[in-house]
Amino acid sequence: MTAPTSGLKTTEYRVVGMTCGSCAARIQKTLNKAEEVDEAVVNYATGRAQVTLGEDADDGVLVQKIDKLGYQLISLEDDSDEPIEDEDAKAARYWKYRAIIGLILTIPFIIHMVAMVFGYHLPDWWKMGLEPALATVILFGVGWPFIAQAIARAKAGSVNMFTLIAMGSSAAWLFSAYQQLTGNPQVYWEAAAFIVAFLSIGQWMEHRAKSHAGKALRALLNLGVKEARVLLPDGQEDMVPVRALGIGDVLRVLPGEQIPADGTITEGTASVDESMLTGESVPVRKQVGDQVAGATLNTDGALTIAVTALGHDSVLGKITEAVSRAQNEKAAAQQLADKISAVFVPVVIGIAVLTLIVHLIIGHPVATAVTAAVSVLIIACPCALGLATPMALMVSGGRASELGILVKGVQAMEQISALDVVVFDKTGTLTTGEMRVVGVDLIDDYDEAELLGLVGALEAQSEHPIAKAIVRYADDQGADRDHTVSDFVVLPGRGAQGEINDQLIQVGTAALVGDIPPQLATQIDQRRSDGATVSAIAVDAVVVGAIAIADQPREESSSVVADMHARGLEVVMLSGDNTVTANAIGKRLGIDRVIAEVLPEDKAGVISELKAAGKTVAMVGDGINDAPALSTADLGIAMGSGTQVAMEAADMTLMTADLHKVGQAMDIAQRTELIIRQNLGWAFGYNVLTIPIAALGWLRPEFAAAAMAFSSISVVSNSLRLRRVGRD
């Protein structure tokens, strides 16, 4: 990465072994204490750590420090072409299988509980034979990762939520084994089974969410071509890997090819499609001396380019870094469960030990003391806590998908109820992102159908987006394009011309067609003030009309803006387009504030400025250039019709291009955030109320297990209320 200051370098690492936000906080604290480190940021969501340290510092010391904590710190190759491995997707599959197996194996316990409710007594072999065997398989098979992590944390002198999970489930299993071996019929196998099964579901959902958080970065890093055509000193060309390029290398880029790296044009002219970076729907004409960015598309000319920036110094690299930085900032606001886990776990263990000691001191039998201590561990085991967030996300995600909305995470939902501003990208979001003819103006009643046939035939020879829009319009109007075009030529920056039926047909600027009659000039000025691009049309050097092309607003854009206003939100339109066009669209849609001509790397800065002013901000966009802004916003919403990078960077994705779903997405986010807070409040409140009861010996383990199950059922039932979103 680019060094932030002289003498420092920033390196990215993969962190292995993190299981919750408290793990990330502990690693970050340890790294920042090291003398070699200037600053360290650990992102639990993506499993990455960005560490800024002295240029000559040995990061082996850091690796050893983190290894002593029970985690692994693995340096990543900055310029590697290999796709980043999605470890969380693998972990999600791993926990998915464990959760499914665990749930299947708990069916006999559920049957037993139902039978007891209706007064039926199952055979002794069921509870004394089948259930112990299943509980053992579930705990030491399905739940082994919990135990292994608890052991690893203990060796490193630390604890986390896995410690409490392992202790609670193991205590229930050990106590039940003791009871059964001593002939006591009061056993609690179901407690151990349910703890592991429920928390496996939680791990599955959590790793799914984490996998989504890292996809934006992986998608960005996989953009662009992998090979470049290098022009050698002897004039020969050689295809080399992009990662092998150096500053100053001379590249040859042919029409229709992606530009491999940032550089300066040294030879040639071409229209370059920069929409993936700027959002501008019209390709930009580039000539000698102009700068071009890697991963943009050369549409119509051969270019020779001298490389000026690579990797993290490139435009795309800066966008990637901005997305990563925004995700790190989000990860700093950990979920409530993770924030208090470092305190909650040792406190519960301490209460259980203290309960055992106090009961023995006051003369209670050993069995009574052990029963009370086990009850504390069982009642405190965070089944409901572990389910609080993933269950709400699972239900809301299912309901959202039915409505055509993909929900990816919880962090952005925390402040949705306080939303102040919604920022819309213009091109491809509020507009269709496709150039269309919006009007044809003629002089002296020139026949429109005939003119469209001539112009359509001419423009059919070009691949330019404006030309394609004209051809499409001519076809829609039924114009006859069956003409032979000869001497066709594109005149850079001016337009195109050719011979049809012995007539010279020209489409373009005044520099190409000559003087424009005053009456037509007035109409052209009006079209341009409305945000359209206008090309004049001349036949045999006589201007006979003009055709206006524009990126039109979506049909529903006005009503969506009105809906945002009805919600009390300020509406801002953000665009890389020119000010005249952006203002015209903004006025037409009733936008409160228009911010135009914004560079790709500055879009996230606009969002940050709004947040710094105390605003809670939602961002709706569709392009690669929107990805940093989508990540920076409190709530990022991507259009499903947009780029994969934008969809991965956002917190929500609208699976269709229907902007009305923005309001539905906000409703789902708000309701989900409310349900999660209710779930967490219930889970923590439940522990606060029941732990003292268990410690006093007033709550036997079987009732503790039942209360724990009831707590989890309450969380599940509350989460299921999200199924009603959109139906109320």
Residue 649: which residues within 8 A CB-CB, separation 6 or more? Answer: 216, 323, 626, 627, 628, 630, 631, 636, 638
Alpha-carbon span 625 to 629, nearest angstrom: 8
pLDDT digits (tens, 9 = 90+) for 189-202: 887 888 788 778 76
Q: Please tell me the chain's helix, strand, coil percentages from 3-state DSSP, rounded to the nearest 5.
A: 55, 20, 25
Higher pLDDT, 549 or 409: 549
3-class state of residue 291 by DSSP: strand
User: SS3 letters for 657-710?
Assistant: CCCCHHHHHHHHHHHHHHHHHHHHHHHHHHHHHHHHHHHCCCCCHHHHHHHHHH
How many Cβ atoms are within 10 Å of 30's Cβ, its own excluded?
A: 18
pLDDT digits (tens, 9 = 90+) for 522-532: 888 888 888 78
Residue 409: which residues within 8 A CB-CB, separation 6 or more? Answer: 45, 209, 212, 213, 393, 651
CB 377 within 8 A of CB 171: yes
66 pLDDT more than 50:
yes
Of 209-213, 242-246, 317-321, 477-481, highest mean pLDDT: 477-481
Of 316-320, 551-555, 612-616, 653-657, highest mean pLDDT: 612-616
What would the two tokens of residue 82 be?
């290999």
pLDDT digits (tens, 9 = 90+) for 629-678: 888 888 888 876 555 555 566 777 776 778 888 888 788 877 887 888 88
pLDDT at 330: 42
Alpha-carbon span 190 to 197, nearest angstrom: 10
Of 304-308, 633-637, 722-726, highest mean pLDDT: 304-308
Q: What are the phi and psi torsion angles at 448 (to 5°)?
A: -65, -45
pLDDT at 311: 72
Higher pLDDT, 492 or 511: 511
Q: At what angle do helices 144-155 and 189-221 cross, to 10 degrees?
A: 80
726 pLDDT more than 50:
yes
6 pLDDT more than 70:
no
The percentage of the chain sitting over the pLDDT mark of 90, rounded to a whole number, equals 16
Give catalytic residues, as residue numbers: 425
CA atoms within 13 A on the CB side of 558: 8
pLDDT at 621: 85
pLDDT band at 595 (very low <50, low <70, confident <90, very high): very high
Query: Checking DSSP bridges between strand 593-595 and strand 570-574, what pairing results, if any?
Result: parallel
Mean pLDDT of 293-316: 82
Closest Cα to residue 69, out of 38, 37, 39, 25?
25
User: What is the CA angle 122-126-130, rounded to 5?
Assistant: 160
pLDDT at 613: 93
The percentage of the chain sitting over the pLDDT mark of 70, rounded to a whole number, equals 79
How many Cβ atoms are within 10 Å of 669's Cβ, its own excluded?
A: 29
Alpha-carbon span 208 to 88, nearest angstrom: 7
pLDDT band at 132 (very low <50, low <70, confident <90, very high): very high
Higher pLDDT, 24 or 215: 24
pLDDT at 78: 43
**Bridge partners of residue 546, in order along the sequence:** 441, 536
134 pLDDT more than 90:
yes
Higher pLDDT, 705 or 553: 553
DSSP codes joined into one string, 360-410: HHTT--HHHHHHHHHHHHHHHS-HHHHHHHHHHHHHHHHHHHHTTEEE--S
Alpha-carbon span 276 to 297, nearest angstrom: 9
Query: Checking DSSP bridges between strand 652-654 and strand 635-639, what pairing results, if any?
Result: parallel
pLDDT at 333: 34
CB 551 within 8 A of CB 582: no
Residue 221: which residues within 8 A CB-CB, separation 6 or more? Answer: 83, 84, 320
pLDDT at 93: 86
Higher pLDDT, 320 or 615: 615
What would the two tokens of residue 146 be?
């919990």
Mean pLDDT of 276-296: 75
Closest Cα to residue 49, out of 87, 8, 13, 10?
13
Closest Cα to residue 633, out of 647, 642, 620, 644?
620
Higher pLDDT, 124 or 378: 124
pLDDT at 82: 45
pLDDT at 563: 92
pLDDT band at 358 (very low <50, low <70, confident <90, very high): very high
How many Cβ atoms are within 10 Å of 237's Cβ, its own excluded?
A: 10
Mean pLDDT of 362-367: 83
Alpha-carbon span 335 to 337, nearest angstrom: 5
Q: What's the mean per-residue pLDDT of the chain? A: 79
92 pLDDT more than 60:
yes
Alpha-carbon span 552 to 648, nearest angstrom: 26
Residue 90: which residues within 8 A CB-CB, separation 6 or more? Answer: none
Residue 327: which residues within 8 A CB-CB, separation 6 or more? Answer: 43, 45, 46, 213, 216, 217, 631
pLDDT at 703: 65
pLDDT at 5: 40
CB 481 within 8 A of CB 474: yes
252 pLDDT more than 70:
yes
Alpha-carbon span 576 to 598, nearest angstrom: 5
**Bridge partners of residue 611, in order along the sequence:** none
The secondary element (H helix, E strand) that includes residue 272 is: strand 270-273
**Bridge partners of residue 258, in order along the sequence:** 297
Alpha-carbon span 210 to 597, nearest angstrom: 34
How many Cβ atoms are within 10 Å of 168's Cβ, its own excluded?
A: 29
Residue at 474: amino acid letter = A
pLDDT band at 76 (very low <50, low <70, confident <90, very high): low
User: Among the residues of 222-335, which ranges form H helices?
Assistant: 275-278, 315-331
Mean pLDDT of 344-358: 85
3-class state of residue 273 by DSSP: strand
pLDDT band at 4 (very low <50, low <70, confident <90, very high): very low
Alpha-carbon span 451 to 440, nearest angstrom: 10
Alpha-carbon span 299 to 465, nearest angstrom: 10
Read off the pTM: 0.54
Closest Cα to residue 718, out of 250, 396, 279, 316?
396
